[in-house]
Amino acid sequence: MNILFLYSEAINPQVGGVERVTFTLANYFEAKGYKVFFLGLTDSYSIKDKRQFFLPDSSSFISERNIVFFRSFLAEKSIDIVINQGGTIPEISKLASYCKIEGVKLISVVHNSLLATIANFSSVNKNKFEKNGISWLLPYTDTKIVKYLLLKLYKRKYAEHYKSLCKKSDYVFLLSEKYKQELVFFMDGQSIDNVVGIPNPVSFDEIVKIRKKKEILYVGRINTSQKRVDLLLQIWGLLDNRFADWSLKIVGDGDELESMKVLSSKLNLQNVSFYGFRDPKPFYETASIFGMTSSFEGLPMTLIEAMQYGVIPVAFDSFLSATDIIDDEVNGCLIRPFDVNEYVNALSKLMSSQEELEWYSTAAEQKVKRFDLSIVGEQWLNVFKELNICC
């Protein structure tokens, strides 16, 4: 049986969460006897993986040339099932749906929250408003009437996409059962009986255990809309003088990396290091605390990966799946969005007690066993069986 993963980017497991999850699942399926292919729009990384193929026209997923190529590819490779990893993106999903004409099964995966960008609109757009000199408008975006209007506009923009996604897919996977309540918002009573919540699996199978250091770690894209790295730097600025033996390590790249370095200097921060794009494993091995200040997430793999290494997660409760990962004050800390003082107090408590660090660290390792590849992979295989796609 042959599987095709469709995504916008090449599947480079070192680059992003979706790519790493796809790579992990692909290897798992191959170990179970399936043959796997990847199909993307652009080759940004000169990928050497023989499973990776690209559409001929990089200008648009749904160009006539790409549609013809996609349908021919399905026949040539005898594809039995397409896994659309771009379920939030209308163009990718539209191309994926052509597989149904060829009699190929379709699973579409939504790798993010559907409504958190509106629920947390002021955080997502804070820096954009400030740059345009209209930050005075931000408080109004949190009022009920403005939220209502924003949601109405958002629904008008995406409702047809999500209705079509559910109608044309054999199954739609959300990263948590909790995200069903967001999907229902778009559906106007249309059935979501083919929608299930299946989390992403952890991707590391060999964990090196070494002595932890007094390090707070961030791993991910460097931006100020979703990831709010600027907010993490501001939080660190309230701690660095009190905890001179601790350091903040920021691993990742992005359009705003240089501006975050400038902000760090402007805030006169101590013991902050920017590492750019790196393999995160060595940083997970030594860090004690993982700092996440995101406006929203789907099911953040960096948070789960860090917990595999016993790194204690501290994050805003700004996305529905946060409580799937973190049990507050048990295996990490969930902070009221976007309460800086509460965040600082939680970090201070952890940083002041070696006993608490060790206790939380052990609990974090235990918690993420629910995301083990053998457990999540079996959920995928059960769906394959229901679709009669079995080896």
Read off the pLDDT band of 152 (50, 70, 90): very high
Per the CB < 8 A criterion, the answer to whether 81 and 105 are in contact is yes
Average pLDDT, integer, range 362-391: 92
* pTM for this prediction: 0.92
| Listed residue (19, 256, 263) closest to 248, CA to CA | 263
Residue holding tokens 């460097």? 222
Tell me which of 72 and 211 has the higher pLDDT.
72
E strands of the chain, at which residues? 2-6, 35-40, 52-54, 81-84, 105-110, 171-174, 195-197, 215-219, 247-251, 272-276, 289-292, 312-316, 333-335
Prior bond to 296 cis, omega within 30? no
pLDDT of 337 reads 95
pLDDT of 114 reads 95
CA pseudo-torsion sign 217, 221, 222, 228: negative
pLDDT of 116 reads 92
Q: Write the pLDDT tens digit of every residue in 239-266.
A: 999 999 999 999 999 999 999 999 999 9
Q: Write the pLDDT tens digit of every residue in 60-111.
A: 999 999 999 999 999 999 999 999 999 999 999 999 999 999 999 999 999 9
Read off the pLDDT band of 181 (50, 70, 90): very high
Q: Is the pLDDT of residue 231 over 90?
A: yes
The helix/strand/coil state of 105 is strand
Per the CB < 8 A criterion, the answer to whether 290 and 350 are in contact is no
| DSSP 8-state assignment for residue 202 | P
* Residue-range domains of the chain with CATH: 2-111+372-386 (3.40.50.2000), 215-370 (3.40.50.2000)
The helix/strand/coil state of 54 is strand
Q: Is the pLDDT of residue 201 over 70?
A: yes
Share of the chain above pLDDT 90, in %: 91
Q: Write the pLDDT tens digit of every residue in 310-332.
A: 999 999 999 999 999 999 999 99
pLDDT of 329 reads 94
Read off the pLDDT band of 208 (50, 70, 90): confident
| Listed residue (372, 369, 371, 294) closest to 334, CA to CA | 294
Query: Across the chain, what does the average pLDDT equal?
Result: 94
Q: Is the pLDDT of residue 45 over 70?
A: no
| DSSP 8-state assignment for residue 251 | E
Quote the CA–CA distance of 155 and 339 in Å, as a whole number.
Answer: 28
pLDDT of 209 reads 73
E strands of 45-154, at which residues? 52-54, 81-84, 105-110
Number of Cβ within a 10 Å radius of residue 258: 11
Q: Which of 10-14, 119-123, 313-317 has the lowest mean pLDDT?
A: 10-14
